[in-house]
Structure formats: C-alpha cells, structure tokens
Amino acid sequence: MVTGASSGIGRAFAEHLAAAGLHLVLAARSTEALETLGATLARTHHIDYRVVTVDLSRPESASSLVDATADLDVGLLVSNAGGGRPGPLLDQSLEELHRRFTLNATTHLDLAHAFGRRFVARGHGGIVLVSAAGAVHGLPNMAHESAAKAYVLNLGEALHYELASAGVDVMVLLPGNIDTPIIDSFGIDRATMPIRPRPAKAAVRESVGAFLRGRPTFVPGRLMRMMLRLLPRTQSIRINGRMLGQAASALAAREAAV
C-alpha cells in the first residue's frame, strides 16, 4: 500500500514496487490520477492494483483505508501522504493546523497501528513512514510541519526496534531535497535551495536499498546526509527559515494576484 501515490515520492514508490512485481493499493485524493497510474503500471509490469480515494487529512480517513483493504493480504505499507504551507504559525487558522496535523502525524500513527497489528499477526511485513529532513529540528516559517514530522520520526524509529522481534521491518524516510511538485506548491525558489533537488525515482531507489538493509532511518542523497551531519544546528535553522520565509512571501504574492 502506498499513500499519497498520485505524485512525487509516493508515485515513485508505486512505480518502483510495481517494477519489482508487487501488487499495489494506491491511495490519495485524486481518483483519476490514481486510475491512470494504476492502469499504466498494470499494463507495463503485469501487476494488479486497487485504487482507494481518500483524504487523509480527515480524522476518519485512516480507518476507511484500513477497511477498504480488509480482504487483502497487505505486506508492505508506505505511509507517505503529507503536506504543508510555509508561513508564520500565527498567521494560520487553528482549524487548518489541526487538519494538517492529522495528515502529517495522526494518520501515520493510525496506519502504523492498524497494519502493524496485521503484520505481527502474519509474522512478517514492512512499514516505511515518510517524515522529512526538517524533522531533526524546528523550521521557522514551517514550525507546525517540522513538529508533526518529528513525531513521525520518533514513532518510526522506536517501532523499528519494538517490532523487529515480530518480523516487522520499520524505516523512517527523511527526504530533504527531492524534486517533487511540493517545491513549486510551496513557492520555493529552486535557485535558493542549498542543494539541487534530487529526482524522486533516484531517491526511492536508494531508500528501498536502505530499507532492505534494515536501516531504522534514511536520508536520500549523499550530499544531503553530509549537510545534515556537518552543518551546525543553529545555522541550518537560520538557512531553512530564511528560505521558507521567502517562499511564504512568494506564495502570498502569487495568491494575491489570482
């Protein structure tokens, strides 16, 4: 099962897993995009697929996704769906912040709990929780998302050890500079990014290898890993906060012009 499968990292995971011969459950909000992707993968790789249209920012969405796959022997969960908006926390409504917390944190918990139980019962399985490199510290102008993603990081890293004895492999993916539509939707100027965005397919290929090696966490891209390890924490916070502040201003200007 791949959530957020219609684009970006989720779509790249779906393509990679289909090429490996795995049947797929594709979950996201866009039925048309999922059906098009599923049909293409089925035709190319001779796999079966099921589309589940779901808005994972809604509190009941995870349970509906679990129910929609109750008849399937799912063996791998890629919990990837997420989203955000750059800008000062206090400029955003509390209702919207709660909605995004459901999408970026609570839904990962609900799916990990439900499918974790399934996998323990069957004696094996795998879970990939997609967090973000920004989870390792607070991000000014995206404080809410970095906090929510930090929950996913800690949840998955702990479950890596909790579930190992039951035969369930868990890894947290921490993408930081992946070339997906979210860069443009955030209003980020690619020229201001400290590292050129890495293609999603390459990041997923590298991440699957790390999962198969039993890594508890993984940051795609050697340069990104070096940057996270070597750049002082306070400097990283300032650099990312400034970039996201510029993105927030560009996004607000773009919306005002519409």
- The rounded mean pLDDT for the chain is 93
pLDDT, tens digit, for every residue of 170-215?
999 999 888 887 777 776 766 767 677 889 999 999 999 999 999 9
Q: Which CATH class is domain 2-257?
A: alpha beta
Neighbours of 205 (CB within 10 A): 14
DSSP assigned state of 221: S
Contacts of residue 145, defined as CB under 8 A and 6 or more positions apart, other chains included, come to 84, 100, 104, 132, 134, 139
Residues 6+ apart with CB under 8 A from 101: 144, 148
Segment 109-132 shows an average pLDDT of 97
pLDDT beyond 80 at 93: yes
**In this structure, are residues 178 and 197 in contact, taking their beta carbons and an 8 Å threshold?**
yes
Beta strands in 96-142 (DSSP E): 125-130
Q: Give the pTM.
A: 0.93
pLDDT band at 89 (very low <50, low <70, confident <90, very high): very high
